[in-house]
Chain A
Amino acid sequence: MAQERSLEVKVGALILVAVLILGGFIVMMGGLSLEKTYPLYVYFDNPGGLQTGAAVKMAGIKIGSVKELGFNTSHVNPKTGKSSLIKARANIEVKYRDIIRKDADFYVTSQGVLGEQFLAIDPGTGATAPLGENAEVDGIGPPRLDLFLAKSYELLDTTLAGIRNNRELLGDIMTNTSGLLKGLNGTVTENRDRINRIVQNFESLSQEALTLTQNARRNYVDNPKMLRTIDNVEHLSSEVRRDATPMLKDAKDMLANLNRISATVGDQKEIDKLRKTLEEVAQLASRANSIAGDAQSIVGHIKKGKGTVGALVMDEEMYDDMQEMVRDLKHNPWKFLWKE
């Protein structure tokens, strides 16, 4: 009997060990935590491989878990203007509530290359207020490698098809390009010195252009004289604007007077008189011209010192003698009457 009981104890002990291992494993797997949590709602266009029960980590430390994932198209992302497709409920431990701020980033990433995906939180700066309970935020989805690969494959396929269909054309292009490059290389080698000179000239040209630009700027842009000129032009234009109205009025009056004159002079008789007068004026002008020519020749003689007046004006010695004589006559007026 005692032996049978011993047998049962041994079997019971083995079962107990297995149950303890299994129970511990299940408790660990369920992520049993006695910490109080609060919910946050994160919207994603596509959360990738994020699953219910996935960890929520901040700086690598687990601070909660994703409790619910579901479709929700009512929320519109203010940045993209598109409605998000997935709403995830994340339960975060209450002790981290003050760390997660309103400018925090929520993104999906994975543990290593093959690891499962989890929700990571970049807590944000202390400048903003903490994100409270039941807050709704927009998350950043994981990079769409599948989409990238699909599009890359399509591009590659199109490129390959293009190459395959235009094999001869591409061959010709390659041959021509090769010939062109060879020719270009030969030309460059043959004209190396000339090209160097061209480059040097171009460099000096650009240097001169720079200097010219600087001078032009100094003289015509930064120059105060130019500014003054502009001011004067502005002042002038303002004056013109101010005087334009009275000037126009005067011009109108003048035109009216001219009209009246022309109406007065509009008769044929008066026109003949005017013509005659003008002819007389022309004759008078020709005479005046000849008189002026005579006067000019006289002045030319004088300038040359010819004649009495010319000698008096142009000869300095005579001028000095005359001055001496006048001075002498001033001091000795009796010489008017008596010659020594």
Chain B
Amino acid sequence: MSDQVEHARIEDQGAIHAEVYDLGAQALSLIASGRGLYSLFVRTLYYTFRGKRERGAVAAEAFEIGNRSLFFLCVTMGCIGMIMVYQAGLQTQRIVPDFSLLGPTYLELLVRDFAASIGALMLSTRVGAGIAAEIGSMVVTEQVDALRMSAADPVDYLIVPKFLASLVMTAVLIVIAGTVAFFTGFITAHFFFDVSAQTYFSIQLIDAGDVITGAVKCVAYGAAIPVVSGYCGLSTHGGSEGVGWATTRAVVNCSLTIIIMNFFISGAGLMIFKN
């Protein structure tokens, strides 16, 4: 309410003044969010090595993030894989009707970028939203405050098990979902473009740089999803509506983080493994 009063007071001083005020306020808010996110990440890393975890907490989170997301991710990546190969095949057919590199190029794309990025984006919609909703509802029902009163850091108790589980299960899910996407792509290539298995299943274009870039992305996305969505959950305010907004912000911020990280990791990968 005080912000609204302050904003009304500023508006009285002129439109341009109000615009500058909004810009400055948003910039400060963004910087504060960045600092909070960084602080949460550092604390998560600290408690990962020094914290005390409840027995079975990581396994339960791993089951929740991994096993329960497996079907969703496989179906999504399988469908996207079929569409990708079909479209690539159509474009190839227009230029050179030679499908000998359809499988190898698609596999290179999957390993280097596609499986990790699309898989993580899909995972963030399910896992990120779930984490933000769970922690946000705990915040609005003051369970997090109760944890703090009990001398239990909510980062150690809530975020770290999810962080560890996500770190492992994101990589696991991406490997499995990528494999599914490659196989569904083969089905499309075989039935629509008569590509044989011997031609399609070729790793001739894959090199160590592709695998390392893909692996780094798996780890980075696996770490980013619980941290970003946990931060959105912990910064929830305003009751059940606030929980809804926290969930939305978690999905948006996770997606944005994944896209930005993809840009930087791919750029670094290209610079390091350009040969």
Q: Which of B60, B105, B171, B203 lies in contact with A18, CB distance below 8 A?
A: B171
Hey, which chain A residues are within 8 Å of B204, CB to CB?
A: 55, 111, 115-116
Given A4-B56, A26-B211, A29-B203, A14 and B67 touching (CB < 8 A)? yes
Q: Which of A8, A10, A53 contacts B56 (CB 8 A)?
A: A8
Q: Do A10 and B176 contact each other (CB < 8 Å), given the known contacts A53-B207, A112-B101? A: no
Tell me if B129 counts as interface (CB < 8 A to partner A). Answer: no
Q: Is the CB of A7 within 8 A of B175?
A: no
B183 shortest CB reach to chain A, Å: 11
Set A11, A51, A53, A111: member contacting B67, Cβ < 8 A: A11
Residues in B with CB closer than 8 Å to A7 are 56, 59-60, 63
Assembled-state Cα–Cα distance A10/B233 (Å): 28
A25 to B201, CA, bound (A): 11
Residues of A within 8 A of B179 (CB): 21
Q: A111–B101 Cα gap in the complex (Å)? A: 9
- State the majority secondary structure of interface residues on B: helix
Would you give 26 A-B contacts (Cβ < 8 Å), ordered by A?
A4-B59, A4-B60, A7-B59, A8-B56, A10-B63, A11-B59, A11-B67, A15-B168, A18-B173, A18-B176, A21-B175, A21-B176, A21-B179, A25-B203, A28-B203, A29-B206, A51-B275, A53-B207, A55-B204, A111-B101, A113-B96, A114-B105, A115-B101, A115-B104, A115-B204, A115-B205
> In the docked arrangement, what's the CA distance between A4 and B59, Å?
8
Contact residues in A for B261 (Cβ distance below 8 Å): none
Q: How far is the CA of A112 from the CA of B101 in the complex (A)?
A: 8
Complexed CA–CA distance, A18 and B222 (Å)? 15
- Pick the contact of A22 from B56, B63, B96, B175 — CB < 8 Å? B175
Cβ of A149 under 8 Å from chain B: no
Residues of A within 8 A of B169 (CB): 11, 14-15
Asked if B172 CB lies within 8 Å of chain A CBs, one says: yes
A65 CB to closest chain B CB (Å) equals 11
Give Cα A299–Cα B275 distance, bound, in whole angstroms.
124
Q: Which residues of A contact B (CB under 8 A)?
A: 4, 7-8, 10-11, 14-15, 17-18, 21-22, 25-26, 28-29, 51, 53, 55, 111-116
Q: Chain B contacts of A55 at CB under 8 A?
A: 204
Q: Are B168 and A116 in contact (CB under 8 A)?
A: no
Residue from the list A8, A10, A18, A115 in contact with B100, Cβ < 8 A:
A115
Which B residues lie within 8 Å of A111 (CB)? 100-101, 204
Given A113-B98, A114-B101, is A11 in contact with B176 using a C-beta cutoff of 8 Å?
A: no
CB distance from A23 to the nearest CB of B (A): 10
**A4-B59, A21-B179, A112-B101 in contact; A14/B203 too (CB < 8 A)?**
no
The answer for the CA separation of A114 and B99 in the assembled complex, in Å, is 11
Q: Are B59 and A8 in contact (CB under 8 A)?
A: yes
For A21, the chain B residues whose CB sits under 8 A away are 175-176, 179
A4-B56, A111-B204 in contact; A18/B175 too (CB < 8 A)?
yes
Q: How far is the CB of A33 from chain B (nearest CB, A)?
A: 14
Besides the known contacts A11-B169, A14-B66, 16 further A-B residue pairs in the complex with CB atoms under 8 A apart: A11-B62, A11-B63, A11-B67, A14-B169, A14-B172, A18-B175, A22-B175, A25-B211, A29-B206, A55-B204, A111-B204, A114-B105, A115-B100, A115-B101, A115-B104, A116-B204
CB distance from B111 to the nearest CB of A (A): 8
- C-alpha gap A11/B100 in the complex (Å): 38
A111 to B169, CA, bound (A): 37
Q: Give the docked Cα–Cα distance between A55 and B206 (Å).
A: 13
Interface string of B197-226 (1 = CB under 8 A from A): 000000111111001000000000000000
Chain B min CB distance to A191 (Å): 55
Query: For the complex, is B70 an interface residue (Cβ under 8 Å from A)?
Result: yes
CB-nearest residue of chain A to B165: A11
Which B50-86 residues have C-beta < 8 A from chain A? 56, 59-60, 62-63, 66-67, 70
Q: Which residue of chain A lies nearest to B55 when distances are taken between CB atoms in the complex?
A: A4
Which residue from chain A places its CB closest to the CB of B178 in the assembled complex? A21
Chain A residues, Cβ within 8 Å of B176? 14, 17-18, 21
A22 to B168, CA, bound (A): 13
A232 shortest CB reach to chain B, Å: 80
Q: Which residue of B lies closest to A55 (CB)?
A: B204
Question: In the complex, which residues of chain B have a beta carbon less than 8 angstroms from the beta carbon of A115?
Answer: 100-101, 104, 204-205
Q: Which residue of B lies closest to A11 (CB)?
A: B62
Q: In the complex, which of the residues A7, A18, A26, A55 has the most CB atoms of chain B within 10 Å of its own CB atom?
A: A18
Alpha-carbon distance between A8 and B57 when the two chains are bound, in angstroms? 10
Residue of B nearest to A24 (CB): B179
Asked whether B98 lies within 8 Å of A112 as measured between CB atoms, the reply is yes
Q: A22 vs B275: C-alpha distance in the bound complex, in angstroms? A: 23
Of all A-B residue pairs in the complex, the 8 with the closest CB atoms, nearest first, are A18-B172, A18-B175, A11-B62, A8-B59, A7-B63, A4-B56, A112-B100, A11-B63
Task: Give the Cβ gap from A171 to chain B, nearest Cβ, in Å.
Answer: 40
